[in-house]
Structure 1
Amino acid sequence: MTETSRPHIADVIDPGDALGEVLFGLIMALTFTVGSRLVFTGEGLNVRELTAATIGCNVAWGIIDAVLFVLGTVFYKSRRARLFRQIKAARSEREAISALRKEFPLEGEPLVSAAADEEALYQAMLGLTRRASPAKLRLKRDDLLAAFIIFLLVSATSLPAVIPFFVIDSAELALRASNFLLIALLFTTGCAWARFSDANPLNAGITMTCLGLVLVGIAIALGG
């Protein structure tokens, strides 16, 4: 198999969704490690309980996010099937195109197009829809693979949080190293985000780090 024919993660799951799951997992892990500082000061840090809670929470949310992704995919496919039936049953071309405009709006997109071009696009979509036949609603292999990737992404982000506790004897030093690794990964996630968007990597990394820390602070303040 050649390099170009190998499936890439971006072919299965949207990069923005994947990075969003990584961000979510890092925030979950940081909530535990940063929040444990309060317990560490008052009662002493129980490393075993902290590592078990961090891994368990991220694995649990990985499963939840994967299931929600599958449900969202089913909803999306059902919505598309409903649109297909709606267009087939439209009493006029204007009504059919109106349904297409509502489902696939061009307003707000980062492009400027002429009205004639938009009309031609919707006319082409209408012609394609009218000639097509309804496909059977079912989950594909890539849908299940994407759900599994989501589970792995959220679960794996707990590893940088707990690894320092297995290699550093001092619990306090390990906790500092854990927090540093997670914050560094927030910055790295922001830089990766910039690769798929029109953003400066440094600014994106700093923004993602600050945003992540603010969300962690909110979660801790609210008892999360």
Structure 2
Amino acid sequence: MASNPIDRVTDIIDPGDALGEVLFGLIMALTLTVGSRLVLEEEGLDAHELIVATIGCNVAWGIIDAVLFVLGTTFYKSRRLRLFRQIKAAGSETAALKMLAKEFPIDEAPFSAKAADADALYRSLLTLARRADPVKASLSKADLFAAIAVFFLVSVTSIPAVTPFLLIDSAHIALRVSNLVLIMLLFVSGYAWAKFSGGRPFYAGMTMTCLGLLLVAIAVALGG
């Protein structure tokens, strides 16, 4: 049973995908806040407009990412179904095994497997495929929940970005606090997800922070 929010999210969506969505949302929000300071420094900051723009941008991209996730999942399932049919229709066992080896390459796995073990794995998959019956490639409830999670992860990252503007009267001070909070969250995201990759939390947090700031700098420089 999931014991904390991170476990609940990773029960619905792959940890790597979840991390990517959180980072994307943070980078989007940080790009807006940093960019607004550079562009509107002379004109003066409008806190209300910045709040609306930040939330609107992240919500919009949350919807887009969720739709793309659904499309990607549909494509993945349809492709798997096509592979299954090709295996069933293969003219020989050798041809079917080659299809499986191409689709599930052992040499890309983070371990060294013996040729005999790899062959045994592919033969087991082939036996399973031949005995199984095809089903319609359709979205499941889990897929829809995952799409909702994608939308939520991207959208919710706008909240820490706009909260300082609701609590601090000075827009310029609120903007600095907002940027600081988002940078800290980049570190926290890398730190929290290090356990899924077996990395060192502090270094993962620092790497994620530096990478996020680099991407923000690129986005701002290119007018993003």
TM > 0.5 between the two?
yes
Q: Paired residue for 1:64?
A: 64
- How big is the shift at 1:3? 6.6
Determine the C-alpha separation between the residues in 2 that align with 1:159 and 1:65: 18
CA-based RMSD: 1.3
Name the CA distance, whole Å, in 1 between partners of 2:50 and 2:200: 36
1-structure distance, mates of 2:2, 2:85: 40
Report matched runs for 1:1-224 at 5 Å: 8-224=8-224
**Structure 1 spans left out of the alignment, 5+ residues:** none
Report which stretch shifted further, 160-169 or 36-45.
Answer: 36-45
Contact 1:31 1:220 (C-alpha < 8 Å) held by counterparts: yes
Report runs of 4+ in structure 1 exceeding 2 Å deviation.
none
Residues in 2 aligned to 1:60 and 1:54: alpha-carbon distance in whole angstroms: 10
Give me the TM-score of the superposition, normalised by structure 1: 0.96
CA distance in structure 1 between the aligned counterparts of 2:86 and 2:191, rounded to whole angstroms: 42
- Are 1:39 and 1:45, in contact at CA under 8 Å, matched by a contact in 2? no
Deviation at 1:30? Answer: 0.2
Q: What is the distance in 1 between the residues matched to 2:38 and 2:106?
A: 49
Tell me how far apart the structure 2 counterparts of residues 69 and 148 of structure 1 sit (CA, whole Å).
10
> Which stretches in structure 2 are left out of the alignment for 5+ residues?
none
- What is the distance in 1 between the residues matched to 2:37 and 2:87? 58
Distance 2:213 2:20 in 1: 15
**Structure 2 counterpart SS, 1:97:** helix
1:190-221 per-position Cα deviation (integer Å, ceiling 9, x unaligned):
11221100211000000000000000000000
In structure 1, distance between residues paired with 2:10 and 2:178: 29
Q: Tell me how many residue pairs correspond in the alignment.
A: 221
Which amino acid in the other structure matches residue 12 of structure 1?
I
